[in-house]
Structure 1
Amino acid sequence: MLNQIKNFPSNDMRDHLKEIIENRRLTAVFQPIISMRDGHIIGFEGLIRGPSDSLLHSPINLFKAANLNKLSVVMEQLCRQVVLETFVKLGLIGKLFLNVSPECLLKPDFKQGETLCYMQNLGINPDQVIIELTESQPTFDYNLLREATTHYREMGFEIAIDDLGEGFSGLRLWSEIRPDYVKIDKHFIQNINQDPLKLQFVQSIQKIAENAAARVIAEGIETQAELMIIKDLGIDFGQGYHIARPSSTPSVIAPIEISKALCLPGITVYPQSKSLTQNTISASRLLIEVPVVTPDTMNEEVYKIFSESPALQAIPVVKNGTPVGMINRHMLIDSFSKLYSRELYGKKACSKFMDSAPMIVDKDISIQALSHLMVASERRYLSDGFIITSKGEYIGIGTGHDLMREITQMQITAARYANPLTLLPGNVPINEHIDRLIHSQASFVVCYCDLDNFKPFNDKYGYRRGDDIIQLTGKTLSNICNPDCDFIGHIGGDDFFILFQSADWEERCQDALSEFSKLIAPFFSASDFAQGGFITADRKNEQVFQPLTTLSIGAVRIEPGIFNSHNEVSSVAAEAKKRAKAIHGNSLFIDRRHYCNETRDCHSTEECALIT
């Protein structure tokens, strides 16, 4: 469509634009902006449409053509007038978000109050209008823009910036003019329920907005899942097709299903990252700048470099920017310590002691891939380290010690957030989700799931088979969860946590036990399964009969206002799990006590209420 506009004869397009402006052939449409607390409409964004029988019906095409023909300021001025007139004519309520480009905002006629005068004639007060700045060019005169927005605020207007994250300088613009409203670009809202990175971006914007006394509007909400995530993130306002499409005759009441959904108790499950950083951290993170030598450098000079740098373990040999070798500290010093060796080789080229086959890697290789390469290579590379290049050119070295330290830290961090065996969320996300549930005043059921007689199974059948059972358990439990509202995490070993908001959670637990009992059978030999267990030796080397591995689930209903932290919830869940494990076979124990604030720390006493 844009190519059609470019190919349209320029004189004809200019005449067409002038005809549209002279005859005011524009239509205003309005899209509601709602409160994410209860769904009530707080205002409307005024949008424009060109003639329905024209290539310029789309606002993108209309303003593109106007800009090409140097009519953008005149066209924008007319659009504002049409939006203001229609807003009054329709009797719409709340705020009006009026799109204004920074270049038009700085025009003398705008600043001198032409639009304000037009509003007064229509009976619109400035405090009803939010000037929504839309980026259309990569640079601004920020000083002038800051002065202009201050001027309009003094007149009673509020300021918003549009499409944060999409334009050229959104964060700079935010910092300079300190808007009252910030609209997050729809790119970061679409599929936010499936994308941890988008979730983190929006969380960060929300945090900045709270500190900057700005209110956030999420644009482009197109699904129920996106709506509920935005609600849970504490975003103030929402806008998008799922709520309502732009209309020339918009309703002043949000759809009832939207309002009901926003008032429902409970929270959504945030998307979890399966791999935190293993594939994103590269060798460039390990880069160290060290002295380099050429193949012709004398050994005496190399020895001097080592003497002046006690921590330096290897020196790269580089010729015309390309690495050709590595000199190991201990190899050179040990050689020089031999009788007459220093006198014999000191003034000869260092290529004599150079390893001509060093490990050379590109700066973009992942840490994980580099560790696999190191493990598969000769041991000397662990002490010598490796040369790092960019497009074949030398840029520095890395050490085996730093690589191992980075890998270890990554594993520790990953284990806290995602269990490496099942890839289910680990302790940190579990605790965060419990705290979110408590903070939201939601009712939920916590289930602590644990395998019985798992260690004897490992002893008899081996740890690899044991890992297979843990993965089976994780998959079985995951399958019974509703991913939109039920959260499953893997604490470690054979322990799992489920945080249910599904009303039929008890039936789901029974399904898991039934499915587990069927799927576990092939893990045992036919004879062991037939007799219901197997023989192993205990610590005293005595033969003991061990029952088959089973699944126990301890469940506790958590009501709002009773528990204050994930630690308290974990404590009662652990007690329920203990009671479940005391039952023979695959079992579900439900703690039906009614806890209260005064007695939540004394779960074993009669004051807590009767267990049925």
Structure 2
Amino acid sequence: MLSLIDDEISELRNILAEGLLVPVFQPIVDFRARSIFGYEALIRGPEGGSLHSPDQLFAAAKRAGLALELEHACREASLRGFAAQSLVGRLFLNVTPGCLLDPQLMNGHTQALLRELGLPANRIVLELTENQQITDLPGIQEALLHYRGRGFQIAIDDLGEGFANLRMWSDLRPEFVKIDKHFVHGIADDRIKYHFVRAMQDLAEICNASLVAEGIERAEDFNCIRDMGIACGQGYFIARPAPKPPRHLPPAVSSALDQRRISLTPLASGSGKLPTARTLLRAIEPLSISATNDVAIARFEADPELYVLPVVNAGQPVGMLNRHSLIDRFARPFRRELYGSKSCDLFMDHAPLIVDEQASIQELALMLALAPKHYLYDGFIVTGDGKYLGVGSSQDLMATITEMQISAARYANPLTQLPGNVPINEHIDRMLGADVDFVAAYIDIDNFKPFNDNFGYRRGDDVIQTLGQLVCEAVDQRNDFVGHIGGDDFFVVFQSVDWEIRCWQLIRSFAERMDAMIGPEERAQGGYMAENRRGELGFQSLPTLSIGAVRVQSGQFESHREVAAAASVAKKQAKKRAKDPGGVIGGSVFIERRRLGADLVVPASRQLN
């Protein structure tokens, strides 16, 4: 046994002494920019050796008391491998909390190595792993302040794996948070995982952090994460870790990014098309990476309204020059003589904010909110298929968002804040224009007026607000659009394949909630005595739901008016069924199965048992 351990230690020391560690890199995709955001550096031992696996490698180092030495060697190998290949974006380096306090990391060695390699610190993300308990939290916080002051950013790994990294998030306030792969794998088919990740997303927005979904292995999960608005993702579906990773998005990933679903929150009026980054771009002639600082200064001096200059290499954006920063540098004595003839990449921001032309205004606003403050002044670079198109400003973005918010407020229902008639109509027209099959469902409360008259409008508003909440809970928020027509009428545009089951679940949920909102006497009698529409005193049943549904297929309807009319007819049929004295009162769903050229309507209506 001792011989095996001695052999293991000897092999490990040889790996460290000979520099035999092999760095591999796994790309991280930025969903909003539709590009590679950066790479996570992982490490392997020599191929074919007993310590090739990272688990065996680090376990051996721990047993041998060489954990810190191995971590330093991994960091140096990863930085050199990243720089040697001139990989784009940020580099995520795995670091244990204990290593942050090690003098070798804080003594400037890493900064010297970065200068040697030509890597600015703002491209390096220190990713804290949870395989080591934090025993000196104040010391870690002081260390992070030190690293942030030098330009490094911080990430925490495997959010959701344990309570410790939730506390790390709260105490350390990282710029990036990685979601544990347990919550990512199968998220497209698991509502619980979906809502867990949605909660993480809400926390990230509050904490100004960007989420990275790890372990994406299926196209369905990739699409779900993308549609949720998560910032970044990585996993085998995108690419496996490799010594020479892909520099551009693989075709399968580009294809998945192109498969956009119909937006569920159309805030813009008129055409129904949401503004994108392309609508904000200004065509500024970029500088070539080979241009000198003198050329850049001349461009700024010739145009007083020019505040930034994008820098490109073979058509791809690689940096951004800020007018005030550059002129301030050259205002010092002899700076023009020393640096004027040098390349403009010397003083440019090597990590500008880059977005794809198809990025929505909401995505763009979130990116700016989570980015360092200087991006608010510099703006962002807009690309198409990875090529430079122009530059956008945060002022134009804010003006557009303000217009959208005013429009949204104008068209939202004041009681439920759900989209009203105009957004509903726009969304239906967009669905029809995209030739997407869907189901239009008209939801109405039966026996609502007597209830409202007898118990008061405040109780009536409570019922309407309750129904709005239940409808939002019943639908798939990734696929289905919920609107409030007015009063007690709601409208849902379903893309979910199990829409009919969701309708019946809604009817049951509403009946249960009504039971909780009335007194024991009304509950026991199943109703109450009140005046009807003709002013006659009589027994009134408790409010229930009627849902009329219409299947809409490509080419069947031409406008939202036709869809709304068909759904209204189906709703009336559902209400008739609900009043059928032969049925059990509780709710009704009527499905119209009409086809073009056919007069026959075959109902599929059932009573709630």
What TM-score results when the alignment is normalised by the length of structure 1? 0.48
What TM-score results when the alignment is normalised by the length of structure 2? 0.49
- Look at both structures and tell me which one has the larger radius of gyration over its CA atoms: 1
